Amino acid sequence: MLVDNHQRKINYLRLAVTDRCNLRCNYCMPAEGIDFVKNDRLLTIEELSRLSAILVSQGIDKIRITGGEPFVRKDLMHLMRQLTKMKGLNDISITTNATLIGPYIDELKSLGIKNINVSLDAIDKATFERITRRDQYDTVHNNLIRLITEGFNVRVNFIALEHQNTQDILPVLELAKHYKVSVRFLEEMPFNGGSKSFQKITWDYKHILRHIKSAHPDYYRLPSPETSTSINYKIPGFKGTFGVIPSFSRTFCGSCNRLRISATGDVITCLYAKASNNLRDVMRKTGSEEKIKEQILLAVGNRAKTGFEAQEKYKNVFSNSMTSIGG
């Protein structure tokens, strides 16, 4: 079992499989993209699979595949097949922009991968295109509805962006009225690779909740797992639920059970921290499982207690882009 230096059990890995993306969401990266790493610095599918197996042997039982956009990697399904064979790995999920997932939906279903988070920051097409800087709305919307109606456990992630999409908060919530889906509203974080700058946000989770309350005064809170980053609610008469994720306010750090590995093998122990070490180099230099495990233990044993503590320690962490971190 992995336990950090604050006695928190670490059983959840967020594994980025690429830093590339076919969208250019303005809260994630600049219009021209970021300096994407050279191909040979990305972990291969075999390396991603090996690392996952090692981490599962150390006590990770939940893996979320993220990126960049996971499905820009043509060999992604090979990894997904490997993961489903791993004993002890009980929960495999994917976070995607849903532009490219269409051809893989049937196989994901047959592999038993049911938990899909879809990022959708607007229900209005023009707003979507302004934010993502691409014209993929119809594809995303069709894939989203297909995933929901085919029985996947879908969560929609919507980032509340001042002056950009807050007029869509109530309309996007309508998805939860008609479908058994969870719509989650996230606070924006300053990890956008220099796309824009801000030090504080006006649309924090309390503001989002007040806004929702103005239209749905009788929503009520649902119980959530202790390690959940979302605070979840139900509106009477709605088929689905909604939630808020205080990713900038950071109310959930105390029970954090996550470890992140970037597409280049960096170990990131907190969103607001810089990478502590790199597993690709260890894997390629020595190949030794013991050495890899040692590095994982070292990282887990040196975690900041909260995102605020990490931010204080790693001063220029806000120059990062979420496409390199994995969200």
Binding site for ligand SAM (CB under 6 A): 21, 27-28, 66-67, 69, 95-97, 119, 157, 159, 186, 188-189, 191-192, 247, 322-323, 327
DSSP H or E segment with residue 319:
none
Q: Is 14 helix (H, G, I), strand (E, B) or coil?
A: strand
Residues 23-62 within binding reach of ligand SF4 (CB under 6 A): 23-25, 28-29
The residue type at 166:
T
Q: How many residues bind ligand SF4 (CB under 6 A)?
A: 13
Instruction: Tell me the window of 18-26, 57-65, 109-117, 281-289 that interacts with ligand SF4 (CB under 6 A).
Output: 18-26
Residue ranges of E strands in 188-282? 220-221, 231-234, 241-245, 258-261, 266-268, 277-278
Instruction: Tell me the window of 63-71, 160-168, 205-213, 282-290 that interacts with ligand SF4 (CB under 6 A).
Output: 63-71
Please state the closest distance from residue 283 (CB atom) to ligand SF4, in A.
25
Sequence-separated (6 or more) residues with CB below 8 Å from residue 75: 45
Cα dihedral 80→82→85→86 (10° resolution): -100
Q: Which is nearer to ligand SF4, 96 or 295 (CB)?
A: 96
Please state the closest distance from residue 126 (CB atom) to ligand SF4, in A.
17
Give the x-and-dash track for 65-104 against ligand SF4 (CB under 6 A): --xxx---------------------------x-------
Sequence-separated (6 or more) residues with CB below 8 Å from residue 232: 182, 221, 222, 224, 241, 242, 243
CA distance 130 to 164: 9
For residue 151 the two structure tokens come to 């029985």
Binding site for ligand SF4 (CB under 6 A): 21, 23-25, 28-29, 67-69, 97, 119, 322-323
